[in-house]
Amino acid sequence: MSETESKNFIEVMIDKDLETGVYDTVHTRFPPEPNGYLHIGHAKSILLNYGLAKKYNGKFNLRFDDTNPTKEDIEFVESIKADTEWLGADWEDRLFFASDYFGQMYEAAVKLIRKGKAYVSDLSADQIREYRGSLTEPGKEDPFSTRSVEENLRLFEEMKDGKYGDGEKVLRARIDMASPNINMRDPVIYRVAHMSHHNTKDAWCIYPMYDFAHPVEDAIEGITHSICTLEFEDHRPLYDWVVRELEYPNPPRQIEFAKLYLKNVVTGKRYIKKLVEEGIVDGWDDPRLVSIAALRRRGFTPESIRMFVEMCGVSKANSVADYAALEYCIREDLKPRAPRYMAVLDPVKLVIDNYPEDRTEYLTACNNPDNEELGSREVPFCRELYIEREDFMEEPPKKYFRLFPGNEVRLMNGYFVTCTGCVKDENGVVTEVHCTYDPLSRGGNSPDGRKVRGTIHWVAAKDAVTAQVRLYENIIDEEKGVYNEDGSLNLNPNSLTVMKECKLEPAFKGAKAYDRFQFVRQGFFSVDPRDSVEGSLVFNRIVSLKSSFVLPKQGEGA
Ligand code: ATP
Ligand code: MG
């Protein structure tokens, strides 16, 4: 693939800007509103903006778009910083808060008034809506639009000084009430709101509207390419109007791209907030969610998320990605990196009747057949082991090659064993499986060329580490779709399974928060950073080993 073919449409635009001298540098930003946790969609925006700055040797700002005092919270500021940093997007010393520019925004509004480009209106919110017209009807002039510059300056200052109540007066940009683009019909750019702000406290009782504030923020920071999502496409003429009328020397340019959506996955803050508040999930970082904090807690790596975002590509057309693609990325990332150890999730005892009672021997096991560098370890082996309950059946169906009376299997890295029967309790539940071993098959190698069809994993009972393991499914019932008719979520009752008495080989001892492993035959798991403590480990399943995902061909996206 040639250099030009691999460029996305934003890179093509940037190249042109640099070639024609519109800009001589690239300066991007990620501008989250601190009103919730970041999710996988935001990761796309972060990595896109940061990636462009890196690629063009430019700069990247993290800017909190905290101009709306109602919904914002310092808890979210901290979580957004942590998530952005974890993803590897380094803002260096360029961390900004839009609220620090309230003074400059006020001056910018005054400048518009002086130029006759903004006026104070007494219309109510409802009246403004009514006067605005519709897609088929032009708007009507605001009766207050004829106020003089002097009067507007005085009224705007009075708004700032707290003379008016909420909603009593607004500042509107004077653009074009007949514009086919409703955003251009004299949009409100400042409103009165007697509210305390998390940063500026009670310094202001007027606050700028997003469409005015955002271009000003970008211009103040010297942003060149202001990258946002498609829903702002119709607002671009207003963005351009603001930076033009304010006469910024080298104004930023807005470029829109399509949001990242995941099929059958909830990302909306409103829904997640409800799940948290109703106690259906264990906080914003519940591993079943796709907030960045949740993905991190579950055990995803920043590398896997980068790979996923790259696979999805950047485009102008909305599309929906598959969660299976994200799973593919984490498997690819962890396959060579994670040590592969044995863990029994649903244990039943396997007793080897012809193995000496007080003997323990150590068998060598490779830590990762895909990566020699991870070396090997010694695994204890003794007369009593744990195996998965489902690896034994008293009456097996056809094609079941694991343990059943009379059948011989390989204990991975261990010996060949032949099942001789089982012991059951009064309810008919199997409590012990019995077998004999072939001492000549040490290491799991056939002594005489005879073959076994099943290989199962196991853990020596004596040295086993007991741990809790959590298995996850989509929190949404995928069969039924995300939403019910009444707008509520279709929850999957089986989204969380807690296995409390799992038995792990001793190599797991000392595992720390976020350590990742492959549990042989079971999937990839990570130590839960919140609930796991030394001596009482808790693991989250990141992803199972089974995949239905087919890697798309180059250029098709995920
Ligand atoms: P949501 O409504 O999904 O909670 P938001 O758009 O209100 O998110 P902001 O804090 O305003 O959240 O978003 C910060 C940046 O992230 C914006 O530039 C926005 O365009 C971008 N962004 C938000 N959602 C996505 C997404 N799904 N894919 C890509 N970028 C996104
Ligand atoms: Mg938003």
Helix (H) or strand (E) holding 537: strand 537-543
Average pLDDT, the chain: 95
Q: Measure 59 CA to ligand 2 centroid, in angstroms.
A: 23
% of the chain at pLDDT higher than 70 = 97
**pLDDT at residue 259 above 80?**
yes
Domain with CATH 3.40.50.620 in the chain: 9-257
Question: Does residue 33 line the site of ligand 1, with CB under 6 A?
Answer: yes
> What pLDDT does 270 receive?
86
What residue owns the CA closest to ligand 1's atom 27?
41
What residue owns the CA closest to ligand 1's atom 18?
228
**In this structure, are residues 209 and 187 in contact, taking their beta carbons and an 8 Å threshold?**
yes
pLDDT in tens, 114-161: 999 999 999 999 999 999 999 999 999 999 999 999 999 999 999 999
Local structure of residue 489 (DSSP, 8 states): B
Upper half-sphere CA count for residue 84 (Cβ side, 13 Å): 29
pLDDT in tens, 342-383: 999 999 999 999 999 999 999 999 999 999 999 999 999 999
Give, in degrees to the nearest 5, the angle at Cα 26 between 53 and 15.
100
> What pLDDT does 478 receive?
86
> What pLDDT does 551 receive?
72
Whole-number Å distance between alpha carbons of 208 and 112: 13
Q: Measure 42 CA to ligand 1 centroid, in angstroms.
A: 5
Q: Measure 415 CA to ligand 2 centroid, in angstroms.
A: 59
Torsion sign, CA atoms 382, 384, 386, 389: positive
> What pLDDT does 70 receive?
78
Q: Measure 3 CA to ligand 1 centroid, in angstroms.
A: 30
Supply the DSSP string of 161-221, one letter for each residue. TT-S-TTT-EEEE-S-TT-SSGGGSS-EEEEE----BTTTBTS-SEEE-HHHHHHHHHHHH
Residue range 472-494: average pLDDT?
90
Q: Measure 272 CA to ligand 1 centroid, in angstroms.
A: 15
Question: Does residue 267 line the site of ligand 1, with CB under 6 A?
Answer: yes
Instruction: Give 553's pLDDT tier (boundaries 50, 70, 90).
Output: low
Q: Measure 189 CA to ligand 2 centroid, in angstroms.
A: 17
Helix crossing, 210-221 with 102-114: angle to 10°?
110
Whole-number Å distance between alpha carbons of 480 and 491: 9
**pLDDT at residue 80 above 90?**
yes
Structural tokens at position 34: 């601190």
For the stretch 268-277, contacts whose Cβ atoms lie closer than 8 Å and that sit 24 or more positions apart, written own/partner, are: 269/35, 269/36, 269/37, 271/489, 272/36, 272/37, 273/36, 275/475, 275/489
Residue 227 alpha carbon, nearest atom of ligand 1: 18
> What pLDDT does 558 receive?
45
> What pLDDT does 1 receive?
46
Q: Measure 157 CA to ligand 1 centroid, in angstroms.
A: 34
CATH class held by domain 9-257: alpha beta
More confident residue, 194 or 480: 194
Q: Is residue 115 classed as helix, strand or coil in its secondary structure?
A: coil
* CA nearest neighbour of 39 among 398, 331, 286: 286
Phi/psi at 155 (nearest 5 deg)? Answer: -65, -40
In terms of phi and psi (left: phi > 0; alpha: psi -120 to 50; beta: otherwise), the region of 331 is alpha
Instruction: Give 5's pLDDT tier (boundaries 50, 70, 90).
Output: low
Residue range 189-208: average pLDDT?
96
Mutate to test the pocket of ligand 1, among 45, 72, 211, 228 (most ligand atoms within 8 A of CB): 45
Q: Is residue 264 classed as helix, strand or coil in its secondary structure?
A: coil
Please state, as a whole number, how many other Cβ atoms lie within 10 Å of the Cβ of residue 74.
Answer: 11
Local structure of residue 57 (DSSP, 8 states): T
Whole-number Å distance between alpha carbons of 26 and 18: 9
Amino acid at 270: R
Residue 34 alpha carbon, nearest atom of ligand 1: 10
Whole-number Å distance between alpha carbons of 93 and 483: 42
Of the listed ligands, the closest to the CA of 42 is: 1
**pLDDT at residue 72 above 80?**
no
Residue range 14-26: average pLDDT?
98
Mutate to test the pocket of ligand 1, among 40, 42, 67, 210 (most ligand atoms within 8 A of CB): 42
**pLDDT at residue 455 above 70?**
yes
Give, in degrees to the nearest 5, the angle at Cα 71 between 68 and 77.
90
* CA nearest neighbour of 483 among 475, 494, 491, 474: 491
Residue with tokens 């800009």: 23
In terms of phi and psi (left: phi > 0; alpha: psi -120 to 50; beta: otherwise), the region of 333 is alpha
Structural tokens at position 458: 């196991």
pLDDT in tens, 412-437: 999 999 999 999 999 999 999 999 99
Phi/psi at 104 (nearest 5 deg)? Answer: -65, -35
Question: Does residue 31 line the site of ligand 1, with CB under 6 A?
Answer: yes
Q: Is residue 311 classed as helix, strand or coil in its secondary structure?
A: helix
Overall fold of domain 343-457? Ribosomal Protein L25; Chain P (2.40.240)
**pLDDT at residue 102 above 90?**
yes
Question: Does residue 32 line the site of ligand 1, with CB under 6 A?
Answer: yes
Residue 261 alpha carbon, nearest atom of ligand 1: 27
Question: Does residue 229 line the site of ligand 1, with CB under 6 A?
Answer: yes
> What pLDDT does 319 receive?
83
Instruction: Give 110's pLDDT tier (boundaries 50, 70, 90).
Output: very high
Residue range 431-452: average pLDDT?
96
> What pLDDT does 482 receive?
86
**In this structure, are residues 131 and 124 in contact, taking their beta carbons and an 8 Å threshold?**
no
Whole-number Å distance between alpha carbons of 512 and 532: 8
Local structure of residue 88 (DSSP, 8 states): T
> What pLDDT does 480 receive?
84
**In this structure, are residues 354 and 513 in contact, taking their beta carbons and an 8 Å threshold?**
no
More confident residue, 245 or 74: 245
Whole-number Å distance between alpha carbons of 7 and 460: 54
Question: Does residue 260 line the site of ligand 1, with CB under 6 A?
Answer: yes
